[in-house]
């Protein structure tokens, strides 16, 4: 399509905005915050380059910054260009860079290799709180103007974003625009994530070799196989050791994130939107905005992760009220919507302490299975003759909020909407793409389709005073175009989905949105500018969830990750687990239930109520504190926890993922505490303590409250209990008043 307006993809990074002064600095710019320094060289005519991104430099003066720039100049080596040019935040082929060009496009082949000249640098910085640098540049021969924004937030997150304007007199086709952040030679190992439905965010490590390592997402959504972060670090880095640098491409459509190392020694992490040929054509004066590339540095994965968490928690839209315990009806009833059953489910939910009740798929016209009804967003009067009011009123009378499931971006061909408007179904214009889950994609780039969905959602949210939307997206986009024009449409679709969420949030400021997409297939910081949480996976098996949540939590704080207690036997894997393992796995996150409580025993209901009560008592700590993880020698045993900001309290979970290489499992270290403080340490048992013969086998200290310093707990540590595989134990640590 042809763009005439700025299409920025994310809101500005938070942070102070002191009065800025337009200038061309004569020395590199130093931004510093939260133990991170960013040194940016904007002194030359070319685009800015990053001289240093990593460990804080302290009070580096002008002379030292100039010296850093001087010692960063690469020498001329054999078989290279005579004057090596630095690689900027946007890598240009015209500088001699032979890796992936940061910009690709042309005017029917002309102007294929831009070379930008910096014309203005605008700096706004606050000591120790980061700042923002805006660089204006142009290439008059190519007819392009560029605005680059580079920021360091108070949390220590680096954000880079670009806006490209066609300043020429004819159309410019943009094929690619990505930005990068360089990493040092020491970053010789990569960690990224892949996965599939029901097994999202599986880690994979490999050397950071010469060449390109590219993670492309062409699914029209983030994708279950997408890498949430691409991390480079010192070989052998872990949660508590080794320097690491990680980046995230904040975009919910087609995207690319890649690591690249050239034989010149230059290495970078980069990302941007992945454009289909002809998808973005700029008219004269037209503008295109990239997604933000967000990066964090840390000494160990935990420190890097905590910077992302603090950045997200600092946003004005981040949820600050307690994350309500929810019950979602999907695995309890599926499409079998019966008022009496759903009321009975609500009764039991309220009894055990649930605070929000969410009615899942199956409530709208013709929706008795997944083959029909999507797009017909009217309550099915054959199932609900009085509308949803009887259930909504019953839920609210029990003191719970009410939430509702939607899949606004999708349509079944077997629906009134598709029969009336076949032109609303995304395609290349000559054929329908293959269906998935019996559904197709609704073209939200079509103004009529967008207006229809907005009107229906607005009407339902208003009529039922809906508190919460579970916003689903259950298929990849294939051949996703505007059917009448026959042009690609993923870019437009992504922006339209953002606009739809934004419009609903503007009309209903207290409305909360969950980003669900076949589970965790849309988990990115583009959609999470608009949603309060993600549904991490459709798999509620706690063993699988331990891994999914561990790695999702590198980017997202616990309160943004939905985690539910499922039935004793998991619907997706067939594995059976005890309640303590199921509840303990969900405990640290946005806690909820996905279980037919009408089938639960009285014993289980009592125990579940105790777990929910305990979760509520720790909710402030869990959803405001600092997440920590330990590097345990035996991969069969994991330890994670949350430490309060003042270091006065912590809660840990010691997890037996499988049988260990040795028994008992040895000492475990409890990281993140204040070395100088002393703490009381005790085991927590939400229900009755387990038996003491055989396994689990508890060390002698487990029968008492022991007092140790933070240094001792993080150093020699404590003897861990010997647990049965697929079990866990909570450990509570509280600062003692005793010296």
Hey, which residues are catalytic here? 472, 538
Distances in Å between the Cα of 499 and the Cα atoms of 119, 494, 496, 511 are 33, 9, 5, 15
Q: How many angstroms separate the CA atoms of 618 and 371, rounded?
A: 43
The C-alpha atoms of residue 75 and residue 60 are separated, in whole angstroms, by 25
Give me the residue label for tokens 């048992």.
Answer: 685
Cα–Cα–Cα angle for 661, 664, 667, rounded to 5 degrees: 100
| Distance in angstroms (rounded) separating the CA atoms of residues 400 and 357 | 6
- Asked if 493 contacts 508 with a C-beta cutoff of 8 angstroms, the reply is no
Percent helix, strand and coil across the chain, each to the nearest 5: 20, 35, 45
Cβ-proximal residues to 124 (8 Å cutoff; 6+ apart), any chain: 17, 18, 19, 20, 131, 132, 133
Helix axes of 447-464 and 490-507: crossing angle, nearest 10 degrees? 30
Q: Which long-range contacts (CB under 8 A, 24 or more apart) does 139-146 make?
A: 139/114, 139/115, 140/167, 141/111, 142/111, 142/114, 142/115, 142/168, 143/107, 143/111, 143/167, 143/168, 143/169, 143/172, 144/111, 144/114, 144/116, 144/168, 144/172, 146/47, 146/90, 146/116
Helix (H) or strand (E) holding 165: strand 158-166
Q: Which residues contact 688 (CB under 8 A, 6 or more apart)?
A: none
- Comparing CA positions, the residue from 636, 670, 631 lying closest to residue 240 is 631
**β partners of residue 282:** 3, 172
**SS3 category, 610:** helix
Tokens representing 257? 């994130």
- As given in the structure block, the two tokens for residue 406 are 């939607």
Which residues, in sequence order, are CB contacts of 36 under 8 Å at separation 6+? 53, 54, 55, 56, 152, 156, 158, 296, 297, 307
Three-state secondary-structure class, residue 659: coil
Residue whose token pair is 């309160």:
559
| Helix 339-352, helix 389-397: angle, nearest 10 | 20
| Tokens encoding 168 | 């020429």
Residue listed under structure tokens 């579970």 = 470
The Cα 289–Cα 599 span in angstroms is 52
| Contact (Cβ atoms closer than 8 angstroms) between residue 268 and residue 260 | yes
Residue 656: partners with Cβ closer than 8 Å, 6 or more residues away: 636, 637, 665, 723, 724, 725, 726, 727, 728
DSSP H helical ranges for 21-81: 62-70
Q: What is the DSSP string of 676-689?
A: TSEEEEEEE-SSSP
């Amino acid at each position: 399509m042809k763009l005439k307006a700025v299409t920025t993809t994310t809101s500005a990074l938070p942070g102070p905005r002191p009065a800025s002064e337009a200038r061309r600095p004569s020395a590199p710019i130093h931004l510093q915050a939260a133990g991170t320094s960013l040194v940016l060289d904007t002194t030359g005519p070319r685009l800015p380059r990053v001289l240093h991104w990593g460990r804080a430099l302290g009070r580096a003066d002008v002379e030292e910054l100039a010296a850093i720039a001087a010692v960063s100049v690469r020498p001329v080596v054999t078989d290279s260009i005579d004057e090596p040019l630095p690689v900027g935040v946007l890598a240009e082929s015209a500088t001699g860079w032979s890796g992936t060009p940061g910009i690709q496009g042309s005017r029917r082949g002309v102007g294929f290799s831009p070379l930008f000249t910096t014309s203005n640098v605008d700096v706004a910085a606050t000591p120790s709180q980061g700042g923002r640098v805006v660089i204006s540049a142009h290439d008059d021969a190519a007819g392009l103007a560029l605005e680059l924004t580079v920021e360091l937030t108070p949390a220590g997150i680096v954000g880079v974003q670009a806006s490209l304007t066609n300043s020429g007199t004819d159309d410019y086709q943009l094929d690619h625009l990505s930005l990068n952040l360089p990493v040092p030679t020491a970053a010789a190992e990569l960690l990224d994530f892949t996965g599939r439905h029901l097994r999202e965010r599986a880690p994979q490590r490999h050397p950071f070799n010469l060449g390109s390592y590219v993670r492309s997402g062409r699914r029209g959504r983030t994708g279950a196989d997408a890498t949430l972060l691409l991390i480079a670090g010192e070989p052998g880095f872990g949660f508590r050791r080794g320097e690491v640098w990680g980046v995230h491409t904040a975009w919910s459509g087609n995207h690319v994130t890649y690591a690249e190392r050239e034989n010149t020694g230059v290495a970078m992490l980069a990302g941007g939107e992945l454009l289909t040929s002809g998808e973005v054509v700029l008219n004269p004066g037209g503008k295109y905005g990239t997604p933000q590339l967000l990066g964090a540095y840390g000494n160990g994965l935990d420190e890097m992760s905590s910077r992302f968490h603090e950045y997200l928690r600092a946003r004005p839209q981040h949820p600050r009220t307690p994350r309500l315990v929810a019950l979602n009806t999907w695995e309890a009833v599926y499409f079998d919507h019966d008022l009496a059953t759903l009321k009975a489910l609500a009764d039991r939910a309220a009894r055990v302490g649930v605070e929000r009740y969410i009615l899942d798929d199956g409530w709208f016209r013709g929706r008795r299975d997944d083959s029909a009804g999507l797009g017909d967003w009217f309550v099915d009067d054959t199932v609900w003759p009085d509308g949803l009011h009887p259930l909504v009123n019953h839920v609210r009378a029990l003191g719970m909020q009410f939430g509702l499931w939607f899949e606004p971006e999708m349509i079944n061909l077997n629906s009134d909407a598709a029969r009336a408007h076949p032109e609303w179904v995304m395609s290349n214009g000559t054929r329908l793409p293959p269906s998935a889950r019996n559904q197709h994609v609704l073209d939200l780039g079509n103004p009529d389709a967008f207006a229809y969905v907005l009107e229906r959602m607005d009407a339902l949210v208003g009529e039922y005073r809906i508190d919460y939307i579970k916003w689903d997206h259950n298929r990849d986009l294939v051949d996703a175009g505007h059917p009448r024009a026959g042009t690609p449409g993923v870019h437009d679709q992504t922006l339209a989905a953002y606009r739809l969420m934004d419009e609903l949030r503007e009309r209903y400021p207290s409305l909360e949105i969950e980003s669900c997409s076949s589970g965790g297939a849309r988990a990115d910081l583009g959609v999470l500018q608009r949603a309060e949480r993600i549904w991490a996976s459709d798999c509620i098996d706690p063993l699988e969830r331990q891994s999914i949540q561990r790695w999702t939590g590198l980017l997202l704080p616990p309160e943004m990750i939905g985690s539910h207690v499922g039935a004793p036997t998991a619907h997706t894997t067939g594995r059976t687990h005890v309640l303590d393992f199921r509840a303990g796995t969900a405990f640290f996150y946005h806690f909820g239930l996905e279980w037919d409580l009408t089938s639960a025993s009285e014993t289980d209901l009592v125990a579940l109520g105790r777990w929910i009560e305990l979760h509520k008592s720790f909710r402030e700590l869990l959803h405001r504190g600092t997440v920590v993880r330990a590097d345990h020698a035996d991969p069969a045993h994991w330890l994670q926890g949350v430490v309060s900001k003042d270091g006065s309290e912590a809660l840990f979970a010691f997890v037996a993922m499988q049988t260990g290489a040795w028994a008992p499992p040895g000492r475990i270290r409890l990281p993140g505490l204040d070395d100088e403080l002393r703490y009381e340490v005790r085991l927590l048992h939400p229900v009755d303590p387990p038996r003491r013969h055989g396994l689990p086998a508890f060390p002698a200290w487990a029968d008492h409250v022991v007092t140790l310093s933070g240094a001792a707990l993080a150093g020699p540590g404590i003897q861990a209990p010997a647990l049965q595989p697929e079990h866990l134990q909570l450990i509570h640590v509280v600062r003692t008043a005793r010296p």
